[in-house]
Amino acid sequence: MIGIAISLFIALIVLQYANYNRSKIKIEILLFLFWAGALYSTYCSRESYMQMNSWQAGIYFIFRILSFFVMLVYSVERGDGKEIIKEFFVISLIYCLINDLVFIPQMAVFRATQGYLLGNKFSVSYMHLEMVAFYIFQGALGNKTKKNITLVLILYSLTISLLVDCITGVMGVLFFIVLAFLLPKKITRNPLLWVVISVLSFASVYNYNYIVETDIYQKLFVRSLDRGVTLTGRMNIYKELPHLMSGHWLWGYGPSSSYEVIHNYLNMPNTQNGFWDIILQVGIVSFTFLALLTIYSIYQIDKKKENFLIPIIAMLDMYSVLAIFEITISLSFIGFVIIAAVYSSSQVIEI
């Protein structure tokens, strides 16, 4: 059944792409292979003992990715590439404002319950930073923006991260500033940067003892931020992850399975590492296609020197850095990969 679906999709690609350039073909094939891998991961987990409906979770995961891709491609092909990003900014700004107007008057209650309208404190912080990225990106596409508004939005995002006590969000804002503004553009858009960051983030699980013993960690987390030596239990999870993946390296446990798997086996909420979390869900095979799609998209940006996509690459690199300790290789990350892929293969702005 899956084989037939794959064959039909490839046949459609061959028939449809007579007028498409090669970069678009490669991007859509890589995205499809990731999608097909995630679907097969769902199929492999169909007889698991998990309480969640693996088919429902897997199809919902895939549908969200494909629907976003189709919407973005349709908008760009119609010539609305600038407008759709502006709408992303406006919608994310509205979400952030509504969340903050409800949260700030009752700050103590929300910080204790983590019942923010946008989710937990991490979701709140990331949404504010994504809003900043969309504002900068839509300006780079040719829409009207002002530097002082950019500065205000960055400070707004930083302030909210501090108010919700999300140190990861604060670090995210700082990393984004470095990647988007301070680092030379030719370095930011070099795909090797993302590869190095990703490898180090994934490998950090094997080197956690060295991380907590470094002077930087001891001074920043233990003394200044009063964070525990075990990174709030993360290190205890990291010790067990390689054993937990035994027999599931290729296809994982199924999309959206992370919480239930880690909770059942380790009594923890998730893997506490973004790359391990996505691999635990869809396996190393599916993740490889996602990584190739990310690398190829950034490569295309670097090859064409498309600096207008710097804020998108900065988000990808920032999420990959934070993946060392948090679950940031999620649907938001995949969404930014799709944005980079679509806009790097399309003529959106005049050269």
d(CA 270, CA 286): 19
Query: Average pLDDT of 86-92?
Result: 97
Give the whole-angstrom CA distance, residue 146 versus residue 148.
6
Cβ-in-10-Å burial (0-12, 13-18, 19+) of 3 comes to exposed
Percent of residues, the chain, with pLDDT higher than 90: 60
Query: Which residue shows structure tokens 């903050």?
Result: 100
**How many other C-beta atoms can be found within 10 angstroms of the C-beta atom of residue 140?**
20
Distance in angstroms (rounded) separating the CA atoms of residues 144 and 265: 51
**Model confidence pLDDT, tens digit, residues 231-250:** 556 777 888 888 899 889 99
Q: Are 92 and 136 in contact (CB under 8 A)?
A: no
Q: What proportion of the chain, given as a percentage, has pLDDT over 70?
A: 84
Give the residue among 150, 149, 143, 146 at the shortest CA–CA distance from 180: 150
- Quick one: pLDDT at residue 223? 53
Tell how far CA 178 is from the center of its chain.
18
Contacts 24+ apart (CB under 8 A), 103-107: 103/163, 103/164, 104/163, 107/163
9 or 323: which leads in pLDDT: 323
Please state the pTM of the whole predicted model. Answer: 0.90
Asked whether the predicted pLDDT for residue 208 surpasses 90, the reply is: no
